Every structure is written in C-alpha cells, then in structure tokens.
Structure 1
C-alpha cells in the first residue's frame, strides 16, 4: 500500500527535523531552514544516514574529518560514527536513515 506524507503537515521532531515518509527499514526526514550555529555537540546514532543538500551551507564533521556541504551535495554518516554539523548559511537538507531514525 502506498503512503503519502506532505511536508506541510508533517510532524516536527525533537531536534527540529520534519518527519517525512517512513517504512519498516528506511526513514526520511527534512531539516528545513536551520539557522547558522556553531555549538551543536558531537553525537552518535545507530542508523546510517545519507543526505542531499537543497540549499544553504554547512560543515559536517564525521570522526574528526570536516567536509563543507552546499546545495547539490550529498553525504553519508556511517552508523555509530561520532558527528556534528555546523550550519554556516540557512540550511535545508533531506536525509534518509536506515533503520529509521527516532
């Protein structure tokens, strides 16, 4: 059975993420209009994350390596890897996680 989730009416998660479509083994979410910051703590999660940057600019730090992300870039954060994001310009990205996050 097909399921439709509209970003306009989707639930906002505890960290500001918008929960989009979600299956048993894969979930999708959007970070919309994240404002610049520099103080997000390092974290780890049990899921693998792949993402695509729609707009803005950020630095992604994964296991001590820093990469700059801009519109059109995609990225991977391995499951269990220590990571953080520094938002440099108002940032919107879509991520898929396996298993589904949160």
Structure 2
C-alpha cells in the first residue's frame, strides 16, 4: 500500500446500504453514512468494533437492550459482538471507523 492513501469523493465505493467507503488501512476503515429519518432496523452484531461521530442530525441507538439518543457533535462506541440497532430521528450524516476494517468488498452491511 502506498502512503499516503487518498480516496477522492469521486472514487469512493458505495455499499449496498448507501454507506460511502472512505480510506481503509490494515487496522481501521472509515466510512460515511447519510440516512433519512426512519424506524429501527433489525438488531445485529458485528465482529468488529465501531466508533462514530455525528456530523449532523440525530439517531437513537439500542445497544444490548439499553437505548440512548445521539446528536450532532456526539460520538459513540459499539464493542465487537454487541447486539445493536439504530433509529434515525433526524436526517443523519455520520462518520464511522471500524476495527478491524469493514471493507467494501466484504459486502458489509450497516452497523
């Protein structure tokens, strides 16, 4: 891999659920989400840890049975293996990092 790795917005891959895959390294991957308001998705768990930051909007996170609202400027952590689901309260733009990396070619679904 050449350093630095640059992924332009025109070259970024779009996942099946609308996530934009940004730069991916050996130990972490970055992706961007834009989501309209909507109901809770199905509960899921992932083999990777997720940290995120809300650029704009708000969502509700149900994590292992507890629910919290997360707003613009807030960040969150979902441990690997934790059962969780989201409900977008207000149109959302967020950035997530996953470790180990969730990659475009792994047919990743939203966290």
Q: Same fold (TM over 0.5)?
A: yes
Unaligned runs of 5+ in 2: 103-107
After superposition, what is the alpha-carbon deviation per residue over 1:37-62, rounded to whole angstroms, capped at 9, x for unaligned? 11410011000000000000100111
When the two chains are superposed, the root-mean-square deviation of aligned CA atoms in Å is: 1.0
2:40/2:85 contact within 8 Å kept: no
Looking at structure 2, the residues matched to 39 and 67 of structure 1 have their Cα atoms a distance apart, in angstroms, of 13
Number of matched pairs: 101
Q: TM-score when scaled to structure 2?
A: 0.87
Q: TM-score when scaled to structure 1?
A: 0.94
Unaligned runs of 5+ in 1: none
